[in-house]
Amino acid sequence: MPRELITIQVGQCGNQIGRCFWQQALAEHASAAAALGGRATSATYDDCMSSFFRNVDPRSGRDLGVGTPLAALKARAVLVDMEDGVVNETLNGPLGELFDQRQLVTDVYGAGNNWAHGYAAYGPQYGDALLEAVRAAAEKCESLQSFFLMHSMGGGTGSGLGTYLLSLLEDSFPEVLRMVTAVFPSQDDDVVTSPYNAVLALRHLTDHADCAMPVDNQSLLSIAAATATAAAASSIADRGRRSSTGALSSSASSGPGFDGMNSIVASLMADVTASARFPGSLNVDLNEIATNLVPFPRMHYLVSALSPLRVPPPPQQMARRASLPAPERGPRGTMPRLIADALSPTRQLMRCDPARSRFLACSLLLRGDVTVSEANVGVEKLRGSLDMVHWNREGFKVGLCNVPPPGLQRSLLCLSNNCCVAQSFEDLRQQFCKLYTRRAMVHHYTQFVDQSVFDEALESVTALIADYEELNTAPAPAHKQWAEPAF
Amino acid sequence: MLAVQDTSDSSLSHFFSGERRKAARAVLVDTEPKAERCDYLEGMVMLHSASGGTGSGLGSYLTELLADAYPSAALLNCVVCPYSAGEVSVQNFNLLLTLSRLAEHSSAVLAIENDQAGNICRQVLKLERPTFRDLNDVIATHITAAVVPSTLAASNAGAVPQMPRASAAFTSDTWPAITKRLHQMHVCGAAHDLCLDWRVTPQPSENFNFNSTSNFNKSVSSLVTLHGHDAAPGPAAAPVAMPGASESTAAGFTADMFGNADLYAAWCQAPAMVCTSALPLNGFERSASLLSNSQSVLRVFDAATPRAQQMFAARAFVHQYQQHGLETADFEAALMWAEQTRLNYRGLSHG
């Protein structure tokens, strides 16, 4: 039985990603249902949908069980923003029906790019309302598995209120996994205070999340650009034999925008949860990801990479796209290619190069038409080429989910707990220090919090970097000759 | 015979979590009426894995409960050991924690190696891309061969892991051809009869040289079962004693062949048992299966123990077990037990 996930989107960035994510989730379930054949299943609320959606009787407002015809789908989500623009946009858009008022926590003023405002002012002010909204969503779950928080680290609401919420969740739902997708600011971020916000938030992410998947805007932008190019190329190649290239070329011509970037993050979240939602021969639920990839509680940052590139169709094309036949298996779809792509530095959702650093653990989540033995062969090849930490040389976790993302035959999400993430944190720390040595902008924060939080956050990130560095450089103990089997 | 099957999804080892305790008790309550319907409850078979959380954690806990509730019934645990190449980061922890618990509470442990099942699929059955279904079929065949009814009392092997040698399934071969190959599998500790190394020969214990690179597989005891309509001398399957039985029956020369004292540790008295069953197994006219408590189980321990030791030395992943109430002392105990068991099995070769 699939277990439920509650998505919590905080701040402008979180809500924009959330919107893309819900579009994608709907499309996935629509195409999964279509793939089951033209039976009535397409209009039935099934087990797979129940992990993200509720089926509500519009008249009585009561939840309907699995197996009932689709009435009104409601997302298991809580939308939080202190500046209600994006949330309102979502509500008034095509996805508006997915959410109702009880799922929203909004204000109109915004946290002004100030972590402290979000954390220390809005946090206590909206704490009860947030918990109430989360509790209401949790009560509608039979067996809640995980919270999925999406927020940015550089802003005020997402980073401040998001991390405040994280510790609330830890206190109130200690048994429920806390997964976080955190968008880190890029080097040339336009928010001056973003290094402050990110480092201050990072400390709470380190202390209170179970698993965090950091992504950064720069990487997203370049992947989105590559995706647009690929889409353009494939639409040119396809023009001769397929007529419905309009969708593809239009997305290519509009260039990589926020939507392109957000949909990459949405794909990431869809793939991470795919095994929890759809059947597969080797299911990996979120608990298993946390178990296998987090050797030490604070070192829970998972670098992610998707292959192949996901060409995002515009929303109005979603339904049509879902019914398109999957493209034939091209060279891009072979296992070695999928794996090679997923390890390439250009495909990482966080700016780093895992193949050149030490892995603490690695997870390959495959979707679509892949057999156990193919996956094992792929892992076998990787084992020789990657630098795995000596006490976890076999630390590959493979997941196989039968249902591919819409429009693809097979896909791979590679999650790696890799020491290279320390470099990104180090860059962030340096930017933080550049500001903090001059105590620039600190007065905005001291309105809300004591200045000591800066020092504590700096200490926390420094310790985290040191932990990763130590593992990255620690040599394996002198090879002890274990007795060979004597029989 | 009562089979306790564990089919729920797997997650982290929750040895002591309250919820799992409840689940285990529910199974126990469920077992009771079934056990009461048995005229004579000879034993129970538990099928579970040793790498995941539910199979290993709940499986071990349940074993303790069942052993407690039915002290007179033999409890056979068929444990699927993970691919040595790795399925789960914490598989070696889970495996050793499980086996150490089972050693204490189970009557016998049938260690089933995924690696060997995979080899059988690829090399014997010539499946290029074996699926889980194929692996499970192979494993099920092995378990069937091991527990299929024979007239012998349950082989209560005590608290040591036991190793399914292989249920060699041959076609219309003659008995000598079948048992000869099975014998060599026994000698080599091989899981199937292809690519057998015929140069390996039984070594008497006192001549055993510690530095020798012999691949000879020393055993504690073995149970050979012949399945086939002409296997049994009489209409009913009957246990055939040790050497000395008439050469003319299949069971007779099998007993002679497997009765070779060099196959077993020096201190073993009457270590070989031969059983026959008139019912053909798996559609083969004649087949033979071997269940042996031997050094080949070292494959599992040699793969898992050093890895678990290294991981524990780094204290990696340990926090996840501590969340559920396990302490480092539990790890130390399991690792010590594993190391001791390795030594014990190694020691079979030396007098």
Is the separation of the CB atoms in B146 and B198 below 8 Å?
Answer: no
B29 in any annotated domain: yes
Q: Cβ of A480 and B130 within 8 Å? A: no
**Range with lowest mean pLDDT among A10-14, A130-134, A421-425, B11-15:** B11-15
Q: Does A443 touch chain B (CB under 8 A)?
A: no
CATH at residue B191: 3.30.1330
CA distances for A33 relative to A37, A38, A370, A401, B311, angstroms: 7, 8, 20, 15, 43
Residue type, A76: R
What distance in Å separates residue A479's CA from the closest CA in chain B?
A: 11
Same domain, B283 and B253: yes
B-proximal residues of A, 266-285, CB under 8 Å? 281-283, 285
Residue A295 binned pLDDT confidence (cut-offs 50, 70, 90): very high
B343 in any annotated domain: yes
Q: Does A435 touch chain B (CB under 8 A)?
A: no
Is the separation of the CB atoms in A305 and A349 below 8 Å?
Answer: yes
Q: Which fold has domain A4-239+247-313+332-422?
A: Rossmann fold (3.40.50)
The pLDDT score that the predictor gives to residue B61 is 87
B158 in any annotated domain: no
CATH at residue B107: 3.40.50.1440
B120 in any annotated domain: yes
Q: Which domain holds residue B249?
A: 163-295
B156 in any annotated domain: no
In the CATH hierarchy, which top-level class contains the domain A423-473?
Answer: mainly alpha
Report pLDDT digits (tens) over A308-357.
887 655 444 444 444 444 444 444 468 888 888 889 999 999 988 998 99
The pLDDT score that the predictor gives to residue A137 is 93
B155 in any annotated domain: no
- In the DSSP assignment, the letter for residue B153 is P
Residue of B nearest to A3 (CA): B9
Sequence-ordered list of residues with C-beta below 8 angstroms from that of A98, at least 6 positions apart, any chain: A22, A53, A73, A74, A75, A77
A-B contacts at Cβ under 8 angstroms: 109
CA A265 from centre of chain: 6
| Closest-CA residue to A332 (of A264, A271, A409) | A409
With a cut of 50, which residues of chain B have pLDDT below it?
Answer: 1-18, 150-171, 234-247
The pLDDT score that the predictor gives to residue B185 is 82
Q: Hey, what are B106's tokens?
A: 């189970």
Residue of A nearest to B304 (CA): A394
CA A327 from centre of chain: 26
The residue length of chain A stands at 487
Residue of A nearest to B316 (CA): A295
CA distance B15 to B321: 9
Sequence-ordered list of residues with C-beta below 8 angstroms from that of A163, at least 6 positions apart, any chain: A115, A119, A201, A204, A205, A208
Report pLDDT digits (tens) over A12-25.
999 999 999 999 99
Q: Cβ of A485 and B307 within 8 Å? A: no
B154 in any annotated domain: no
Q: Is the pLDDT of residue A242 over 70?
A: no
Report pLDDT digits (tens) over A146-197.
999 999 998 889 999 999 999 999 999 998 999 999 999 987 777 888 999 9
Report pLDDT digits (tens) over A186-225.
877 778 889 999 999 999 999 999 999 999 988 998 898 8
Could you state, in order of their start, the residue ranges of all structural domains in chain A?
Answer: 4-239+247-313+332-422, 423-473
The pLDDT score that the predictor gives to residue A446 is 92
The pLDDT score that the predictor gives to residue A237 is 56
Domain end point (choices B276, B295, B314): B295
Q: Cβ of B130 and A372 within 8 Å? A: yes
The pLDDT score that the predictor gives to residue B106 is 87
Instruction: Give the count of beta carbons closer than 10 Å to the beta carbon of residue A448.
Output: 19
The residue length of chain B stands at 351
CB-nearest to A395 from B86, B213, B315 is B86
Same domain, B304 and B209: no
CB-nearest to B89 from A371, A379, A395 is A395
- Tally of structural domains, chain B: 2
CA distance A287 to A276: 10
Is the separation of the CB atoms in A245 and A3 below 8 Å?
Answer: no
Cα maximum dimension of chain A: 75
Residue of A nearest to B322 (CA): A297
Over chain A, what is the mean pLDDT? Answer: 84
The pLDDT score that the predictor gives to residue A188 is 78
Q: What would the 3-class secondary structure string for A254-299 be?
A: CCCCHHHHHHHHHHHHHHHHHHHHCCCCECCCHHHHHHHHCCCCCC
What distance in Å separates residue B150's CA from the closest CA in chain A?
A: 30
- In the DSSP assignment, the letter for residue B264 is B
CA distance A396 to A375: 11
Helices (H), chain B: 18-37, 59-69, 91-105, 114-119, 132-147, 175-188, 250-258, 298-313, 318-322, 328-347
Helices (H), A278-385: 286-293, 318-323, 335-343, 372-385
Q: Is the pLDDT of residue A57 over 80?
A: yes
Residue A44 binned pLDDT confidence (cut-offs 50, 70, 90): confident
Q: Is the pLDDT of residue A418 over 80?
A: yes
Same domain, B291 and B302: no
Same domain, B238 and B192: yes
Q: Cβ of B189 and A487 within 8 Å? A: yes
To the nearest whole percent, how much of chain A has pLDDT over 70? Answer: 86
The pLDDT score that the predictor gives to residue A459 is 96
